[in-house]
Amino acid sequence: MIAVQREITLPAYSRGFHLIEEEVFSEIPELRQVKIGTLNVFIKHTSASLTINENADPTVRTDFESHFNKYVPENAPYYRHTYEGSDDMPAHIKASLLGSSITIPITNGQPNVGTWQGIYLCEHRNYGGHRKLILTLMGI
Amino acid sequence: MIAVQREITLPAYSRGFHLIEEEVFSEIPELRQVKIGTLNVFIKHTSASLTINENADPTVRTDFESHFNKYVPENAPYYRHTYEGSDDMPAHIKASLLGSSITIPITNGQPNVGTWQGIYLCEHRNYGGHRKLILTLMGI
Amino acid sequence: MIAVQREITLPAYSRGFHLIEEEVFSEIPELRQVKIGTLNVFIKHTSASLTINENADPTVRTDFESHFNKYVPENAPYYRHTYEGSDDMPAHIKASLLGSSITIPITNGQPNVGTWQGIYLCEHRNYGGHRKLILTLMGI
């Protein structure tokens, strides 16, 4: 069995949705040795998240930002957790809607994802700073 | 350790939510040999998704379709990614809200899920066509 | 390879969002023996869910309840699945939005999560009763 784990720190991204699959895969070259397995990518934060979506047209990513801002608004009258700024509570909700980890199949040393699938870092804070990810590769 | 992986192609489903657990489990009979483990089911697309929900009353699945159509509408004025049709950008958002993979515990050769839990293929496009899934079974 | 699995039954929680990481981790002491691995926590129900979010200020959890009640309302005119009570169909939708399982990295015998990350049981029913979880620990 192969089990490899690595913590990586991303550069600070602006609020929005960003493709990070190259940063992720380049940090765990051992995945080339895995014939059958999975890579779990976990974000150690509660106001940023990870998802898989279209890797080609950047307007998909800006439309994500527009959509989530409308349906998880800032300054909702029912928020009580407001002292960290108007972008904080929506960030927590967005993070749980999108999720704190993704699991990707690995096949013959390659991520076995669709042609159009990329990994999005979903940065929900205005100034989220560096974000830490844990990569866990398991397989044979 | 047991590690088995298989790519399967689903028949084309209509837009909406569909139970597919029988198709999934029948394609990976090796799960009967796993005492303790997990089955990850991953969809290789960005406009369809997977979730686990009620397997009995079909109105749950039609209510899902109604709900997601209302809260992730077509033709939202803020969409910029529109050239693939009015059902395309909402499909991407729905796919990330619901997720691209599920992980199911396997116990003594059986999926260890609740009595009422089924696997939904969530087809968000009008004509999504065949969808490919990667099944990754790992355990002992 | 280490593979350990356990089914646990939570006490009945009230409708809302509750921190349960202590109950989860105390039930699987074998995670102290895992150098590199993952813990998957799966809920065997379709009207309650699991997510990871802020573990400090309890108003984050009450704001979650307020938000999901507004955006996944009871008595929506388009619901057809209504015979189990007005809290039932929204519970199914909330459960799929948040998800039925989480996967946490384990490093040197400890859950490798952020300082502010806790595990939420998301109880979407008024009287959900006891909820069963399957914990699956795999690694080396």
Q: Find chains touching chain A: ≥3 CB pairs under 8 Å.
A: B, C
Check if A138 contacts B (Cβ < 8 Å). Answer: yes
pLDDT digits (tens, 9 = 90+) for A56-87: 999 999 999 999 999 999 999 999 999 999 99
For residues B15 and B65, is the Cβ–Cβ distance under 8 A?
yes
Q: What residues of chain A lie within 8 A of the CB of B96, using their CB?
A: 51-53, 64, 98, 120
Quick one: pLDDT at residue B23?
Answer: 98
**In the predicted model, what is the mean pLDDT of residues B67-74?**
98
Phi and psi for B45 in degrees, rounded to 5?
Answer: -145, 160
Q: What is the rounded CA–CA span in Å between residue A46 and residue C59?
A: 14
C101 touches chain B (CB under 8 A): yes
Fill in the amino acid letter for A7. E
pLDDT on residue C138: 98
Query: Taking residues C53-66, what's their average pLDDT?
Result: 98
Q: Are strands B36-43 and B101-107 parallel, antiparallel or unpaired?
A: antiparallel
From chain B, pick out residues whose CB is under 8 angstroms from the CB of A98: 96-97
A78 close contact with C: CB closer than 8 A: yes
Window A:1-40, CB contacts with C under 8 Å: 1, 3-5, 7, 40
Per-residue pLDDT 10s for chain A (140 aa) are 999 999 999 999 999 999 999 999 999 999 999 999 999 999 999 999 999 999 999 999 999 999 999 999 999 999 999 999 999 999 999 999 999 999 999 999 999 999 999 999 999 999 999 999 999 999 99
> What are B10-30's pLDDT values in tens digits?
999 999 999 999 999 999 999
Cα separations in angstroms, A49 against A18, A86, A102, B44, C65: 11, 18, 10, 20, 20
Of B46, B81, B92, the CB nearest to A114: B46
The confidence score (pLDDT) of residue C112 equals: 98
User: In this predicted structure, what is the pLDDT of residue C66?
Assistant: 98
DSSP C94-140: HHHHH-SEEEEEEETTEE---TTEEEEEEE-STT---EEEEEEEEE-
Nearest CA in chain B to A140: B3
Q: Is-above-0.95 flag for pTM? A: yes
pLDDT on residue C95: 98
Q: Note the pLDDT of residue C128.
A: 97
- pLDDT value of residue C4: 98
The pLDDT of residue C48 is: 98
pLDDT tens for C39-58 read 999 999 999 999 999 999 99
**Separation in Å, CA of B138 to nearest CA in chain C:** 9
The shortest C-alpha distance from A121 to chain B (Å) reads: 12
Vertex C13: Cα angle to C7 and C16 (nearest 5):
115
Q: Select from A77, A78, A61 the least CA-distant residue to A118.
A: A61
Please state, in angstroms and as integers, the Cα–Cα distance from residue C47 to each residue in A45, B42, C44, C94, C128, following that order. Answer: 26, 23, 9, 8, 8
d(CA C91, CA C46): 8
Cα C134 from Cα C24, distance rounded (Å): 10
